[in-house]
Structure 1
Amino acid sequence: MHVRRTFAGSRHPLALGLLVALAAPVHAQDAPQSDPKTLDQVIVTGTRVSDRTVAESTAPIDIITPETLEATGTVELATALSRALPSLNFPRPAITDGTDAVRPAQLRGLAPDQVLVLVNGKRRHTTALINLNGSQGRGSSPVDLNAIPIAAIERVEVLRDGASAQYGSDAIAGVINVVLKGSGTGGSIAARYGQYSAGDGKQYQLSGDTGIKLGENGWLHLAAQGGHQDQTNRARPFQGRVEQRYGDPEIDQGAFSYNGEYNPTDYLSFYSFGSYSERDVLSNGYFRFAGDPRNIPSIYPNGFLPQIHNVSKDRAAVFGLRSETAGGTQIDLSYNYGHNGLTFDIENTLNRSLGPTSPTQFYAGALEVTQHVLNLDFTKSVDFGWQYPVTFAWGAEWRGEEFSERAGEPLSYANGGVAAPNGQIIPGAQVFSGFRASDAGDFDRHSYSVYIDAEADLTDKFSLGAAARYETYSDFGETTSGKLSGRYAFTDKVALRATASTGFRAPSLQQQFFQSIATNFISGIPYEIGTFRVDNPAAIALGSEALKAEESTNYSLGLVLQPADQLYITIDAYNIQVKDRILLSENLTSAAVRNYLNANGYPGIGGGRYFTNAVDTDTKGVDIIATYGWDVGSGKLNLTAGYNYSKTEIDKIAPNPPRLAAIDPAAVRIGRTEIGRITKGAPRDKFFLAGDWKTGNWNFTATATRYGEFTELHATDPRQDQTFGDEWTLDLAATYRLNNWDFTVGGDNVLDAYPDESKLVRGTRNYLPYNTASPFGFNGAFGYIKVGYKW
């Protein structure tokens, strides 16, 4: 049995020690100043050309600077990106089991695992968690962006375009490349404290980074952050008392990263970077009142609130070398390791079937994923006698992936045989029954890929790029993807760009092999129902098939404009078609299904759900980004406006497989709620206007954001569908700089906006007033202070 370890007692001293070490200045210098003209920033994402800028890119790309991340006021990378990017959605679900601890982010309204995350251009591993409980991104296992410390980041490059031909699986909606700080000098340390206007959700954090020179030929940059977050609660009284907790969980987190390089000669460089983070999360289930048949009054006379305690440990490391031959061919050889582990401990709970002797906490099991990647990449510029040389890139990759599911202690899922007062036997730990021994297992696969890429400025006005990639997987077969891109500059002020590409996303090992079987009651009778592996005999009987890769076709057309000095505008329309999209089916629990399974070798099985390639989708949208800077009074004012419109429609839902249709012709594999989650569950549009004014020692920032409406569809009754209206939020901050010190006072959502209340507030569930799909959460206004020092 595991017990909860507090951050303050186990990890906080380590985090504080790292930060104190980082606080020692290595080399004093003026704090770096940001350049608002990010269109002039040289990029490394989506191109192999060494001096390509944002404005010259053939595909839309955003540069998010450290100053922009800090100005958002948050300590979470995913939250900061959602405030800086109109096309990124990052809601704050509650009472969703492990998803409370590891929340998914969406780009352009697509699934969270349809965006590829890189760190310094190398593939980042995904989280072990698979989101199952009604949140946006249900059925996905995306990368945990919040495991990367913000203090380590030099900038974030977001490629809003399909890029599977360049990077491989997952790059359907786009690519997020986190570029780490890479300097042997400079550094910073900062302390932050804040809380919500409702009086809860207190937060404190300490972060820092520093550069260290390694002789004359190398450098190492270190960063760390650690902090604590209290729970928030927006539940209301039920049966005369507020017993439920509904909001953000309690979180203790520490993270560390490094980035280094050593150059023994002019033509050889050794590099390495990596990170480690640990997040300790305590989230809540639904309150069991004293008279609930699931309760045992002798243990909890007043009822109980079961809680899930997750610990997510995330580590990554890349080791590589770069060299250049005498003929000018650049070589990059690297090994990439990533691992995420997530444990489940259930606290303040019981197993009703064990009776009054039931323990009140259980170890419920763990999930783990591991990634190994070997890359060999070549780049060479070739002069054909044209106006500019052609940049060729080619290479190969081997990737090995592992997924493990560990069983919980037997009492966490045991059926002790003790009946509740109503005669029911309710086995397993309340709120989260442990993973069973039959669920546990170790699974792996490997893949090989080769690619070729060419890019050139054919004239002063016309740029063209092409890429192709072939991959073969040990578990589902092979796939080929390609991309064409071009840009034509009519003048220095007006350019047209376009891309066309095919892409893919391999089914994750979690989607193929995760299994969790629990006891549910249908008409008062207990049945074994759960999420089955696609190769489980019960799932096969219900029509499951081996998963295949999602395939995509992506088109984009955009304009890059500079109608006036310091005014930059980009407008990019896109169309993303996804075939064979992987979704988690509805629970198949009809009487016909139960009777068939029980009569054909599966006694006690009452149905379940499984992953399936059952849906084709079509997403259309447009991104508009504008930046403008000018002198105002004695200072400089920079404005950024962003708008995204995105609409996803279902092109096709595959008919039920013959096996399922023969059992139950009325079975529904993909229901209204999931269709609504895909097509209407994220805001249809989003707009923000951000201003940054520097004058003397002062820096003022303000961001107004409008989140468009979203809709939740009821499972069976259209009359209970609800559309939640658009909402505005306003974030403000003021910073005073004294020498190298920064003193900041800020507020997020200072107007205390909340989403519309749910229809479900009427009747028996009026204690949970807000929908967890709200794109800005439902915690209200948040104020904070921050003190920082840079050298």
Structure 2
Amino acid sequence: MHASRTLARPGLRVRHPLALGLAIALSLTAAPAVLAQQPAQADAKTLDQVIVTGTRVSDRTVAESTAPIDIITPETLEATGTVELATALSRALPSLNFPRPAITDGTDAVRPAQLRGLAPDQVLVLVNGKRRHTTALINLNGSQGRGSSPVDLNAIPIASIERVEVLRDGASAQYGSDAIAGVVNVVLKGSGSGGSIAARYGQYSAGDGEQYQLSGDLGLEGERGWLRLAAQGGHQDNTNRARPFQGVVEQRYGDPEIDHGAFSYNGEFKPVDYLSFYSFGSYSERDVLSNGYFRFAADPRNIPSIYPNGFLPQIHNVSKDRAAVFGVRSETAGGTQIDLSYNYGHNGLTFDIENTLNRSLGPSSPTKFYAGALEVTQHVLNLDFTRPVDFGWKYPITFAWGAEWRGEEFSQRAGEFLSYANGGVPASNGQVLPGAQVFSGFRASDAGEFDRHSYSFYLDVEGDLTDKFSAGLAARYESYSDFGDTTSGKLSARYAFTDAVALRATVSTGFRAPSLQQQYFQSIATNFISGVPYEIGTFRVDNPAAVALGSEPLKAEESTNYSLGLVLQPADGLYITLDAYQIKVDDRILLSENLTSTAVRNYLQANGYPGIGGGRYFTNAVDTKTQGVDLIATYGWDVGNGKLSTTAGYNYSKTEIENIAPNPPRLAAIDPAAVRIGRTEIGRITKGAPRDKFFLAGDWKSGNWNLTATATRYGEFTELHASDPLQDQTFSAKWTLDLAATYRLDRWDFTVGGDNVLNEYPDESKLVRGTRNYLPYNTASPFGFNGAFAYLKVGYKW
């Protein structure tokens, strides 16, 4: 039974991630006492923090950056009250959106995040400056980020993070594909002794969603090197905001049930002063049980002898994520710094369907199925050189150049035969409904292994030309084995009129290579149209049926970014940045609508595709323009016997579709009225995320007390109906309030906190599913729809 599969056996609930994470975290407390004597050194002030993202100058700070960049400290991450990195970033950054979709198959397990309203896969994620691999999942259902395969930020344990640097600017010329909207660089905790351990417990005010977690980190130092370990593990119960039907709640609608565990390491060994070996990596496992739509007892999809009261089919996903980087750094006698590294990343996602049946198999149908698996693997070799050159000017100019080779692999594994088999037994309505209910297994014809490679060369020049003026120039050439080559460039500059006023600007071109998932994922299922079975689904772009409907080989998305910013420090302790931006994306890759009209079906049947009734495929069909502004202000002052630090952030972002490509001639000849990109997808791109977002956060420290509060306003968003504008709905703006109080006693921290303490919910959806309006909230809500959450946390640091 699938002897070659290494991820999970059919029907097996994996419970060891929690035990793994807790065991590792507990083991961190067993460090020798001699390593626990010195507390970790305090972070530098944010404005003076030396950055490593968006620049290769060794001493560039946040205040001196030529592009907008945010530094998210561990204290900020902890103050958000969440154990998920993506959720924490969404609460700390006005330009980042992280909704919590439900009943969206695998997207419940691996949720995507958006920066500046663009697609989740248009953000490049780095760890310690090295490219992070994406998830194997491709989001196909009606969530934000439909059609994307982004990085799983929540696979990185928060306990391992020193800081997160978020570059809000196009950076393809500096880092390569995906950096259209910006770059998120997770910097891991490094050298230094000491460590921490923390336990957390929480629950929603509705009485569900119980959570508990244990996390910790430990630093070890030697004469020539150091090692930092971190781990976290925990459990989350599901939440349910479904309404009753006929007095009974059959549906579950909310967050899934999750067990998770993660471990990371970061280390360096320096045998001599000019040579160092380094390595860092992580392993995480997330076990997720999410829900489909309830099948009522009389539903034709049900078999009453198996489920006399109906059934709620569930998807059991196990996501395994691992990464490791090995490298060596050196510096020549002439001052050239050399960095050679190998980067490995892998993500695997299995699908087991539980509490279900295959209606076409009749009363003998199993109730559990293994439905298949997806895997991605990344191999990256980097060789980087950096050298400051003194031309006799006041400051040296930094030159950086290098090369990269990247190999990528994507595999799709078939499910067991009965998960997609057509047993021929008709349902009560006379139709034959093959495949496991809620998620039909991947067929043997869907399975396959695909790979590609690319190589690139870059040059980056940056420096302070005068006391007031700094500038940078970058160029990158990248060639892919599957779609060709591309060149991108970037020009950036900053001019300080005074110590208190500076102007910065960038202009750049960028690109995003089509992912292997977008090119090769395929899932075909049998659907009945007017009582006739047809094979309909998501086709690979090279599938003959898709080609007959106009699909073409995918090409890279190309972008042009403009940014203009004002940096103000008008008073001691007050720092303000205002950055306007415009991002044009040509040939944006989207998943088409289902092409299943009568004309399409008749053509396919008559031209060598019997049984194929249409489907959808990925296409470069849309050009978009995104314009917006980011405003960040920080100020600190003495209040009473303590220190109050405040941060205000605002983002306005508007995306418009500038062009939708006409239907390909093949499709236009078959059905002149065919619609490849429909109203719902247009709305998802242009109105599906909040147009604006504002937050005001305060942190007051006095003696042993630390009080934090964050008020956030999420702007309105809109859902467009597929065909009827009268059924469009705009969901109004909402405020949430998060509060936390921490008391410090020696090395102990005791925290009580609440997220969304005012118990705010999004507007109820007016969409009525038949006569059952039992799913009241829209899953695109930027703060979810679970209500208030309270938690307790106890931590110890040494």
Q: TM-score, normalised on structure 2? A: 0.98
Is 1:789 the counterpart of 2:772? The answer is no
2:261 paired residue number: 254
Question: Could you say what the CA RMSD is over the residues aligned between the two structures, in angstroms?
Answer: 1.0
Write the distance in 2 (CA, Å) between the matches of 1:665 and 1:7: 50
> Are the counterparts in 2 of residues 628 and 639 from structure 1 also a CA contact under 8 Å?
yes
**Equivalent position to 1:379, from 376, 386, 400:** 386
Please report how far the alpha carbon of residue 12 of structure 1 lies from its aligned counterpart in structure 2 after TM superposition: 3.1
2:22 paired residue number: 16
Is 1:541 the counterpart of 2:548? The answer is yes
**Equivalent position to 1:163, from 156, 162, 171:** 171
Write the distance in 2 (CA, Å) between the matches of 1:12 and 1:238: 35
Q: Render the CA deviation track for 1:21-64: whole Å, top value 9, x for unaligned.
A: 112352222354455x4121110000000000001000000000
**Equivalent position to 1:29, from 24, 38, 43:** 38
Q: Render the CA deviation track for 1:646-695: whole Å, top value 9, x for unaligned.
A: 00000000000000000000000000000000000000000000000001
Please report how far the alpha carbon of residue 527 of structure 1 lies from its aligned counterpart in structure 2 after TM superposition: 1.2
Write the distance in 1 (CA, Å) between the matches of 2:595 and 2:791: 48
Write the distance in 1 (CA, Å) between the matches of 2:126 and 2:403: 17
Write the distance in 2 (CA, Å) between the matches of 1:265 and 1:623: 45
**Equivalent position to 1:674, from 681, 686, 691:** 681
Please report how far the alpha carbon of residue 455 of structure 1 lies from its aligned counterpart in structure 2 after TM superposition: 0.2
Paired residue secondary structure (1:170): coil
Write the distance in 1 (CA, Å) between the matches of 2:589 and 2:489: 22
Write the distance in 2 (CA, Å) between the matches of 1:763 and 1:726: 28
Is 1:309 the counterpart of 2:301? The answer is no
Please report how far the alpha carbon of residue 20 of structure 1 lies from its aligned counterpart in structure 2 after TM superposition: 1.4
Paired residue secondary structure (2:366): coil
2:304 paired residue number: 297
> Are the counterparts in 2 of residues 735 and 743 from structure 1 also a CA contact under 8 Å?
yes
Q: Render the CA deviation track for 1:149-207: whole Å, top value 9, x for unaligned.
A: 00000000000000000000000000000000002401100000000000000000000
Please report how far the alpha carbon of residue 17 of structure 1 lies from its aligned counterpart in structure 2 after TM superposition: 1.9
Please report how far the alpha carbon of residue 4 of structure 1 lies from its aligned counterpart in structure 2 after TM superposition: 4.8
Is 1:212 the counterpart of 2:212? The answer is no
Write the distance in 1 (CA, Å) between the matches of 2:207 and 2:129: 42
2:617 paired residue number: 610
> Are the counterparts in 2 of residues 320 and 335 from structure 1 also a CA contact under 8 Å?
yes
Please report how far the alpha carbon of residue 140 of structure 1 lies from its aligned counterpart in structure 2 after TM superposition: 0.1
2:195 paired residue number: 187
Please report how far the alpha carbon of residue 519 of structure 1 lies from its aligned counterpart in structure 2 after TM superposition: 1.2
1:569 paired residue number: 576
Q: 1:762 to 1:448 in 2, by over 3 A?
A: closer
Is 1:551 the counterpart of 2:558? The answer is yes
Write the distance in 2 (CA, Å) between the matches of 1:466 and 1:284: 50
Paired residue secondary structure (1:443): strand
Write the distance in 2 (CA, Å) between the matches of 1:239 and 1:346: 27
Amino acid aligned to 1:200: D
Write the distance in 2 (CA, Å) between the matches of 1:773 and 1:574: 24
Please report how far the alpha carbon of residue 80 of structure 1 lies from its aligned counterpart in structure 2 after TM superposition: 0.0
1:83 paired residue number: 91
User: Which moves more between the two structures, 403-412 or 521-530?
Assistant: 521-530
> Are the counterparts in 2 of residues 7 and 253 from structure 1 also a CA contact under 8 Å?
no
2:395 paired residue number: 388
> Are the counterparts in 2 of residues 31 and 740 from structure 1 also a CA contact under 8 Å?
no
**Equivalent position to 1:640, from 647, 658, 668:** 647
> Are the counterparts in 1 of residues 635 and 647 from structure 2 also a CA contact under 8 Å?
yes
2:82 paired residue number: 74
Write the distance in 1 (CA, Å) between the matches of 2:556 and 2:261: 36
1:61 paired residue number: 69
Q: TM-score, normalised on structure 1? A: 0.99
Paired residue secondary structure (2:681): helix
Write the distance in 2 (CA, Å) between the matches of 1:265 and 1:753: 58
Please report how far the alpha carbon of residue 136 of structure 1 lies from its aligned counterpart in structure 2 after TM superposition: 0.1
> Are the counterparts in 2 of residues 750 and 781 from structure 1 also a CA contact under 8 Å?
yes
Amino acid aligned to 1:460: D
User: Which moves more between the two structures, 81-90 or 230-239?
Assistant: 230-239
Amino acid aligned to 2:39: D
Q: 1:632 to 1:33 in 2, by over 3 A?
A: farther
Please report how far the alpha carbon of residue 763 of structure 1 lies from its aligned counterpart in structure 2 after TM superposition: 5.0
Is 1:459 the counterpart of 2:485? The answer is no
Please report how far the alpha carbon of residue 238 of structure 1 lies from its aligned counterpart in structure 2 after TM superposition: 1.7
Write the distance in 1 (CA, Å) between the matches of 2:265 and 2:577: 34
2:133 paired residue number: 125
Write the distance in 1 (CA, Å) between the matches of 2:298 and 2:742: 54
Amino acid aligned to 1:633: G
2:442 paired residue number: 435
> Are the counterparts in 2 of residues 520 and 527 from structure 1 also a CA contact under 8 Å?
yes
2:234 paired residue number: 227
Please report how far the alpha carbon of residue 520 of structure 1 lies from its aligned counterpart in structure 2 after TM superposition: 1.5
Q: 1:92 to 1:658 in 2, by over 3 A?
A: same
> Superposed, which structure 2 residues align to 1:463-612 within 5 Å?
463-612=470-619
2:52 paired residue number: 44
Is 1:367 the counterpart of 2:374? The answer is yes
The count of residues paired between Structure 1 and Structure 2 equals: 788
**Equivalent position to 1:772, from 779, 786, 797:** 779
> Superposed, which structure 2 residues align to 1:623-662 within 5 Å?
623-662=630-669
> Superposed, which structure 2 residues align to 1:132-147 within 5 Å?
132-147=140-155
Amino acid aligned to 1:93: P
Write the distance in 2 (CA, Å) between the matches of 1:727 and 1:7: 38
**Equivalent position to 1:419, from 420, 426, 435:** 426
Please report how far the alpha carbon of residue 787 of structure 1 lies from its aligned counterpart in structure 2 after TM superposition: 0.2
> Are the counterparts in 2 of residues 313 and 340 from structure 1 also a CA contact under 8 Å?
yes
Write the distance in 1 (CA, Å) between the matches of 2:690 and 2:267: 40
Is 1:734 the counterpart of 2:741? The answer is yes
> Superposed, which structure 2 residues align to 1:688-727 within 5 Å?
688-727=695-734
Q: 1:6 to 1:762 in 2, by over 3 A?
A: closer
Amino acid aligned to 2:116: R
Paired residue secondary structure (2:487): strand
Is 1:357 the counterpart of 2:364? The answer is yes
> Are the counterparts in 2 of residues 93 and 773 from structure 1 also a CA contact under 8 Å?
yes
Write the distance in 1 (CA, Å) between the matches of 2:17 and 2:732: 42
Write the distance in 2 (CA, Å) between the matches of 1:406 and 1:93: 25
> Are the counterparts in 1 of residues 14 and 318 from structure 2 also a CA contact under 8 Å?
no
Paired residue secondary structure (1:760): coil
Amino acid aligned to 1:179: V
Write the distance in 2 (CA, Å) between the matches of 1:620 and 1:39: 27
Q: 1:139 to 1:430 in 2, by over 3 A?
A: same
Write the distance in 2 (CA, Å) between the matches of 1:7 and 1:299: 26
Please report how far the alpha carbon of residue 6 of structure 1 lies from its aligned counterpart in structure 2 after TM superposition: 4.7
Write the distance in 2 (CA, Å) between the matches of 1:31 and 1:773: 40
Write the distance in 1 (CA, Å) between the matches of 2:617 and 2:769: 33
**Equivalent position to 2:249, from 239, 242, 246:** 242
1:152 paired residue number: 160
Paired residue secondary structure (2:254): coil
Write the distance in 2 (CA, Å) between the matches of 1:663 and 1:304: 41
Write the distance in 1 (CA, Å) between the matches of 2:526 and 2:730: 33
Q: Render the CA deviation track for 1:333-372: whole Å, top value 9, x for unaligned.
A: 0000000000000000000000000000000000000000
Paired residue secondary structure (1:391): strand
Write the distance in 1 (CA, Å) between the matches of 2:374 and 2:20: 25
User: Which moves more between the two structures, 754-763 or 715-724?
Assistant: 754-763
